[in-house]
A and B are shown apart, each in its own frame.
Chain A
Amino acid sequence: MSTVIQPGRTPGTTTPAKSAAASGTRLAVRRFLRHRLAVVGLGVVVFFVLFCFAGPLVYSTDQTHTLLHQVNLAPSGTHWLGTDAVGHDELGRLMYGGKVSLIVGLAAGVLATVIGTLWGAAAGYAGGWIDAVMMRVVDAGIAIPALFILLVVSAITTPDLGGLVLILGFVSWLVPSRLVRAETLTLKNRDYILTLRAIGGTHARAITRHILPNSVSTIAVAATFQIADAILLVAYVSYLGLGVQPPATDWGGMLSVGLTAAYSGYWWLILPPGLAIILVVWAFNAIGDGLRDAFDVRGRG
């Protein structure tokens, strides 16, 4: 609320005009970079993306054939992380499974955020009984555990990759919708939206041009948490044997397979996928925290 006193009738412009828009972004970036954990988290995510998608080009392994002559080998020079029960190289498998985990996690997280954002913005903007009905639907959805729905669906059909993304997206959009609705409620009574409505602007314009851009911080933060959640959910279902089916796998599936051999002391089948899940989920959460701090300055103005 700093109203600088203007001695003259027409206040001149003192700061250079061009740097205006850029400085806001730069400030946000600086805020993000100051958040150490978020930077580390970003590093971890970049590392795993490179590891899973570029890694196989450098370190190519056979992940389709069963090689019974090299089953359950301990880590060595030829197999850095050893091999599993059917002779697949564990390091290569980590890349192979990670691809599925990351793709499904990212896609499902983004899908959930998109659905949640649209639903929440519509409910909050419409208000009244429409809002009440839409949010009771969300309440009902939250009352049923997502994992339960996932298990029921997986028991009925065996979803492929796309199916998994759809299911995960449709069970986890509820939390972002609540966040975006809350944001919309505060934004829709801002003076600039009232002004737009008074001069005859449409509802669609108010939502797409003002409410959504101004909630982008909430949306982005929610998205990172959704991605982390989705990666974890894929791991759950796969661990229970209901996710992607062999020979394809993901980190949760690898963990499940490895745990059957836990008493044999094959630690290299458990630790790597377990650590990968923990690291990536933590990294996305840290990025979310960093984004929240970074966006804070932009929003205030």
Chain B
Amino acid sequence: MTADQSPAAPAAGPILRLDDLGVVFTTQSGEVPAVSGVSLSVDPGETLALVGESGSGKSTVALAAMGLLAGNARATGSATVAGTEVIGAGETALAGLRGRTVSMVFQEPATALDPLTRVGKQIAEVLRNHRDISAKDAAAQAVELLRRVGIPEPDKRASAYPFQLSGGQRQRVVIAMAIANEPALLIADEPTTALDVTVQAEILDLLRRLAAETGTGVLLVTHNMGVVADFADRVAVMYHGEIVETGPVEDVLLRPSHEYTRRLLAAVPRLSVAGEDVPETAPAAASSAPAQAEPVVELDDVSVVFGRGRGAVRALDGVSLTVRHGETLGLVGESGSGKSTASRVALGLIRPTQGTVSLFGTDLARTRSRARRALRSGIGVVLQDPVASLDARMTVGECVAEPLRVHRRALSARDRQKRVAAVLDRVRLPRDVARRAPRELSGGQRQRVSLARALVLEPRLLVADEPTSALDVSVQEAVLDVISELQAELGFACLFVSHDLAVVQHFAQRVVVMRAGRVEEQGDTGTTLLRPETDYTRRLLAAVPVPDPVVQRSRRAERLTTLAAGRTEATA
């Protein structure tokens, strides 16, 4: 990197300073203040985590610092990057700043890259935007950058298209682009939220190493307290557009002073780890489920193949699992492990290529369509996306009443309304939401509407596919509480699919760990997640960051030594 072109960072003082920053959005329904009175600073080489739940304005702050706010936003106050005022600056001044003094890593690596341009070329373009170097030199530097972000065989990978890389590798490329011009400030907006935990740990390691090597200041925007504990030096907690608490990571996470931070931290499900002083059996209800109760749904040696011929994908391979009456079975695994496919096979939405599925003791493949439909009245379903789960053109009441219309056609309108009102009471929603449209509800309320719809027929099996992963932690806790309370009351079995090991540990009595379409291991949650038998589960657990900076530091060191040991073993 040529010396005369290095960013003009002042020798001392913070690289980013926000002073009484306010942002107001002008929308159809008037002025909406998103951020007000935010003051913070990031020193060179320091990582400041900006945490908060959705709608707290943390991303808006990050965008304002880049001068990237949308056209309907108006910013007040001051935001200086390396001594340059960003607010009110002209587009040319900002363009000189972006990508060079300050650069950004976004959440979704799939959309941050141009799908039709080779990754090496995309990195070279960033280099040439700010420096007068030949195409050949830029290409060579791009390869060097790929090597720095830990992409194997960087000279070959430089000519790959984004779709040929995995999600983690794509995020590495995005980071390579962000650090191409050795910026003094890196803004990372949820850089690992779209990634699996093991990949997340690697990306965090990479960011930490880069920040330490180059003395780059990092503004990390995240909602994940574990990531904060793992990575940040200081923390600023945002709530309703304002910063409620700032301080060193140990203070904020271990001794929070503000009421909101305390509540937020209390809602974060913590992964209990072996060696910690934890109660032996995490889920309290474990004893109440008799081990040999009748199976509600049973997958026996199920394989699923999508497509045929050479393009065929084996999504499930000899999977057997059982959910028994009254128990909750957690199905965990990384993306692509087949956990959602397994839940859909259990629901009868995907026909197994091989093996049998029996629901309530009846083999699904042997039932005729009418009988199968009747059988399915005993199932309730809650899926991940709170927006797509409810038909936007129906009222909440109609959504909840739909199973009644399908299976209890004789019911009069009055009775139907009564049942809907009763089930809304159960999920602790006010009755008058029945007349409202789903879009008027918050994400947590919508998931409770989904739950109400799932429970209106009093099912014997509830299939919940990542029911809370789109929700904030405080809302997640409320939804999970409702599910477990109703389970105790109604006694349904629950197949709970999740990628979040901490949630599963708290919520499920038994757990099945899946990997690449196979069952890696299964057993009681208490034993399997505390003392896993397989390497994979151990790795998975080690990668989960816990929201305690002290514990997390030792966990990280432990994980890195294990990985290093594994690597030397492999090379030996």
The answer to whether the Cβ of A197 comes within 8 Å of any Cβ in the partner chain is yes
**How many chain-A residues does the 8 Å CB contact rule pick out?**
40
User: Do A21 and B435 have beta carbons less than 8 Å apart?
Assistant: yes
Q: Which residues of B contact A196 (CB under 8 A)?
A: 402, 406
Binary contact track A206-244/B, C-beta < 8 Å → 1, others 0: 000110011010000000000000000000000000000
User: Do B474 and A214 have beta carbons less than 8 Å apart?
Assistant: no
Candidates B389, B392, B403; contact of A214 at CB < 8 Å: B392
Complex Cα–Cα for A122 and B242 (A): 51
User: Do B436 and A17 have beta carbons less than 8 Å apart?
Assistant: yes
User: Do A201 and B435 have beta carbons less than 8 Å apart?
Assistant: no
The answer to whether the Cβ of B23 comes within 8 Å of any Cβ in the partner chain is no
User: Do A21 and B395 have beta carbons less than 8 Å apart?
Assistant: yes
For B391, the closest partner residue in chain A by CB is: A192
Candidates A4, A190, A216; contact of B388 at CB < 8 Å: A190
Taking the closest CB of chain B, its distance from the CB of A188, in whole angstroms, is 12
User: Do B444 and A3 have beta carbons less than 8 Å apart?
Assistant: yes
Q: Which of B53-61, B275-283, B318-326, B536-544 contacts A (4 or more CB under 8 A)?
A: B53-61
The residues in A between 1 and 32 inclusive whose CB is less than 8 angstroms from any CB of B are 1-7, 9-13, 15, 17-18, 20-21, 24
The answer to whether the Cβ of B347 comes within 8 Å of any Cβ in the partner chain is yes
Q: Which of B192-200, B207-215, B373-381, B559-567 contacts A (4 or more CB under 8 A)?
A: B373-381
Candidates B376, B399, B435, B440; contact of A200 at CB < 8 Å: B376
Candidates A3, A21, A299; contact of B475 at CB < 8 Å: A3
User: Do B442 and A6 have beta carbons less than 8 Å apart?
Assistant: yes
User: Do A195 and B389 have beta carbons less than 8 Å apart?
Assistant: yes
Candidates A2, A17, A301; contact of B392 at CB < 8 Å: A301
For A4, the closest partner residue in chain B by CB is: B442
For A10, the closest partner residue in chain B by CB is: B428
The answer to whether the Cβ of A36 comes within 8 Å of any Cβ in the partner chain is no
User: Do B478 and A6 have beta carbons less than 8 Å apart?
Assistant: yes
The answer to whether the Cβ of B390 comes within 8 Å of any Cβ in the partner chain is yes
User: Do B389 and A192 have beta carbons less than 8 Å apart?
Assistant: yes
The answer to whether the Cβ of A202 comes within 8 Å of any Cβ in the partner chain is yes
User: Do A3 and B471 have beta carbons less than 8 Å apart?
Assistant: yes
Given known contacts A1-B54, A3-B472, A199-B457, is B432 in contact with A17 (CB within 8 Å)? Answer: yes
User: Do B436 and A20 have beta carbons less than 8 Å apart?
Assistant: yes
The answer to whether the Cβ of A50 comes within 8 Å of any Cβ in the partner chain is no
User: Do A192 and B399 have beta carbons less than 8 Å apart?
Assistant: yes
Given known contacts A11-B445, A195-B389, A198-B381, is B435 in contact with A5 (CB within 8 Å)? Answer: no
Complex Cα–Cα for A10 and B428 (A): 7
Q: Which residues of B contact A4 (CB under 8 A)?
A: 55, 442
User: Do B392 and A199 have beta carbons less than 8 Å apart?
Assistant: no
**How many chain-B residues does the 8 Å CB contact rule pick out?**
64
The answer to whether the Cβ of B437 comes within 8 Å of any Cβ in the partner chain is yes
The answer to whether the Cβ of B443 comes within 8 Å of any Cβ in the partner chain is yes
Q: Which residues of B contact A5 (CB under 8 A)?
A: 53-56, 239-240, 472, 474-475
User: Do B54 and A15 have beta carbons less than 8 Å apart?
Assistant: no
Complex Cα–Cα for A11 and B479 (A): 12
Q: Which residues of A contact B387 (CB under 8 A)?
A: 1, 301
Candidates B56, B381, B470; contact of A195 at CB < 8 Å: B381
For B260, the closest partner residue in chain A by CB is: A7
Q: Which residues of B contact A214 (CB under 8 A)?
A: 391-393
Candidates A20, A194, A299; contact of B395 at CB < 8 Å: A20
Q: Which residues of A contact B348 (CB under 8 A)?
A: 198
The answer to whether the Cβ of B418 comes within 8 Å of any Cβ in the partner chain is no
The answer to whether the Cβ of A136 comes within 8 Å of any Cβ in the partner chain is no
Which residue, A4, A196, A213, has most C-beta atoms of chain B within 10 A? A4
- Count A-B contacts at CB 8 Å: 141
User: Do A197 and B349 have beta carbons less than 8 Å apart?
Assistant: yes
The answer to whether the Cβ of B487 comes within 8 Å of any Cβ in the partner chain is no
Q: Which residues of A contact B71 (CB under 8 A)?
A: none
For A9, the closest partner residue in chain B by CB is: B478
User: Do A201 and B406 have beta carbons less than 8 Å apart?
Assistant: yes
Complex Cα–Cα for A301 and B392 (A): 6
Binary contact track A76-110/B, C-beta < 8 Å → 1, others 0: 00000000000000000000000000000000000
Candidates B344, B406, B435, B440; contact of A199 at CB < 8 Å: B406
Complex Cα–Cα for A2 and B380 (A): 26
User: Do A3 and B377 have beta carbons less than 8 Å apart?
Assistant: no
Which residue, A20, A194, A198, has most C-beta atoms of chain B within 10 A? A198
Taking the closest CB of chain A, its distance from the CB of B400, in whole angstroms, is 12
Taking the closest CB of chain B, its distance from the CB of A194, in whole angstroms, is 6
User: Do B442 and A3 have beta carbons less than 8 Å apart?
Assistant: yes
Taking the closest CB of chain A, its distance from the CB of B179, in whole angstroms, is 29
User: Do A3 and B391 have beta carbons less than 8 Å apart?
Assistant: no
Which residue, A10, A15, A205, has most C-beta atoms of chain B within 10 A? A10
Q: Which residues of B contact A12 (CB under 8 A)?
A: 430
Which residue, A1, A5, A10, has most C-beta atoms of chain B within 10 A? A5
Given known contacts A11-B445, A194-B383, A198-B348, is B437 in contact with A3 (CB within 8 Å)? Answer: no
The answer to whether the Cβ of B250 comes within 8 Å of any Cβ in the partner chain is no
Complex Cα–Cα for A226 and B226 (A): 56
The answer to whether the Cβ of B128 comes within 8 Å of any Cβ in the partner chain is no
Given known contacts A195-B381, A199-B379, A200-B373, is B435 in contact with A20 (CB within 8 Å)? Answer: yes
User: Do B440 and A15 have beta carbons less than 8 Å apart?
Assistant: yes
The residues in B between 379 and 413 inclusive whose CB is less than 8 angstroms from any CB of A are 379-381, 383-393, 395, 399, 402-403, 406-407
Candidates A6, A18, A21, A199; contact of B376 at CB < 8 Å: A199
Complex Cα–Cα for A13 and B442 (A): 10
User: Do A13 and B433 have beta carbons less than 8 Å apart?
Assistant: yes
Q: Which residues of B contact A209 (CB under 8 A)?
A: 402
Taking the closest CB of chain A, its distance from the CB of B91, in whole angstroms, is 28
Q: Which residues of B contact A198 (CB under 8 A)?
A: 347-349, 376, 379, 381, 463
User: Do A24 and B437 have beta carbons less than 8 Å apart?
Assistant: yes
User: Do A11 and B440 have beta carbons less than 8 Å apart?
Assistant: no
Taking the closest CB of chain B, its distance from the CB of A177, in whole angstroms, is 22
Q: Which residues of A contact B471 (CB under 8 A)?
A: 3
Binary contact track B507-526/A, C-beta < 8 Å → 1, others 0: 00000000000000000000
Q: Which residues of B contact A17 (CB under 8 A)?
A: 432-433, 435-436
Complex Cα–Cα for A201 and B391 (A): 15
Given known contacts A1-B387, A6-B442, A17-B435, is B56 in contact with A199 (CB within 8 Å)? Answer: no
The answer to whether the Cβ of B45 comes within 8 Å of any Cβ in the partner chain is no
Candidates A7, A191, A299; contact of B384 at CB < 8 Å: A191
Q: A5-B472, A7-B263, A298-B392 are in contact. List 11 more A-B contacts (CB 8 A).
A: A1-B54, A1-B443, A3-B53, A3-B55, A5-B240, A11-B442, A190-B391, A195-B383, A199-B376, A202-B406, A209-B402
Query: Top 4 A-B pairs ranked by shortest CB distance?
Result: A200-B376, A301-B439, A3-B443, A301-B392
Binding site for A on B (CB under 8 A): 53-56, 239-240, 263, 344, 347-349, 372-377, 379-381, 383-393, 395, 399, 402-403, 406-407, 428-430, 432-433, 435-440, 442-445, 450, 453-454, 457, 463, 470-472, 474-475, 478, 481
Binding site for B on A (CB under 8 A): 1-7, 9-13, 15, 17-18, 20-21, 24, 190-192, 194-202, 205, 209-210, 213-214, 216, 298-301
Pairs A–B under 8 Å by Cβ, sample size 23? A1-B54, A1-B387, A3-B443, A3-B471, A11-B445, A13-B432, A20-B436, A190-B391, A191-B389, A194-B349, A195-B383, A196-B406, A198-B379, A199-B379, A199-B454, A201-B373, A202-B406, A214-B393, A298-B393, A299-B392, A300-B392, A301-B392, A301-B439
